[in-house]
Amino acid sequence: MKVRLKIVHPDAKIKFLNNFAKFLTTTEVANPPPNPSQVLFLLSLFPSPLNPNSPFPFMDSLKQHLSNLPNDFLSKAPGSIASAFLTMDFPAPKLPASKTAQSIALLAALSPLQSSALWASINKGLASAHSSAYSDPVKTHKALLLLIHGCEHLILGGE
């Protein structure tokens, strides 16, 4: 599927995404539950906040929607997904690595775990990046992306 989501005015885009997130809260989740790639694809539509003092209004709606997913997805999945992101490629729908990392960071920001969901994976990817000759460059790069997007989603570091 190829979708071009280009909206001229940023406010219009945020308004659309807010309505979309509200619509998601009105849906009910039935079996089979979505796989993580599909959830990440959905979250990739939502940008990171530009200003730490004004988080986007869609966060609450997204959180409500994701907490409706079965098997306690919101509290259990982010850490596992972040860990899997370093070592494997997710199945379709495919996203670029940067977009995937952005979606994982958003998922972690919505979950009660917040930064704890990401630090383990970041540590795994970056801790030996320069001390080991055998560190995997792809894994290291993905850990860096998680760190950057975690900061952008305001769950890592402090501004």
Partner 1 sequence: MSISYSEVSERAKRASAIKLNSNFITLNSFGWLHFAGSGNGELVVNNKNDMLPPHPSIELLLANASNLIFDELNKITFIVDEQFNNGAKQQNNPLSNILNYSKYLDVLVTHFPNSGTISSSVNKLLNSSIDKLTATATATSTDHVTLLSCCSIALSCGGEFEFDTITDPNLSKDKIVEIFKSVRGLEFVSSASASSSSSEQNARSSFQLFKWETLAQLSQLIFSINDSNLVDYSFELVNFAAGELSATPTNAIKYLFETSMCAAEFYINNSTTYPSDVTLKSLFSAMWATIEEEEKAWRKKVSERSAKWVQTATSTTKLTHSIYFAPSSLGAGYGHCLLPGRF
Question: What are the residues binding partner 1 (CB under 8 A)?
Answer: 1, 3-8, 16, 20, 23-24, 26-35, 37-39, 41-42, 52-53, 55, 91-93, 115-116, 119, 122-123, 126-127, 129-130, 140-141, 144, 147-148, 151-152, 154, 156-159
CA distance 95 to 138: 15
Q: Find the shortest distance in angstroms from Cβ 158 to partner 1.
A: 3
Residue keyed to tokens 């308004």: 15
Residue keyed to tokens 């079996």: 31
Q: Find the shortest distance in angstroms from Cβ 17 to partner 1.
A: 10
Q: Find the shortest distance in angstroms from Cβ 36 to partner 1.
A: 10
Compare residues 80 and 96 and give the one whose CB is closer to partner 1: 96
Compare residues 11 and 159 and give the one whose CB is closer to partner 1: 159
CA distance 97 to 27: 29
- Whether the CB-CB separation of 48 and 8 falls below 8 Å is answered with no
Compare residues 68 and 75 and give the one whose CB is closer to partner 1: 68
Compare residues 47 and 55 and give the one whose CB is closer to partner 1: 55
In our burial notation (b when 16+ CB lie closer than 10 A, e otherwise), range 64-93 reads bbbeeeeeebbeebbbebbbebbeeebeee
- Whether the CB-CB separation of 41 and 79 falls below 8 Å is answered with no
Q: Find the shortest distance in angstroms from Cβ 18 to partner 1.
A: 14
The pair of structure tokens assigned to 109 is 């920001």
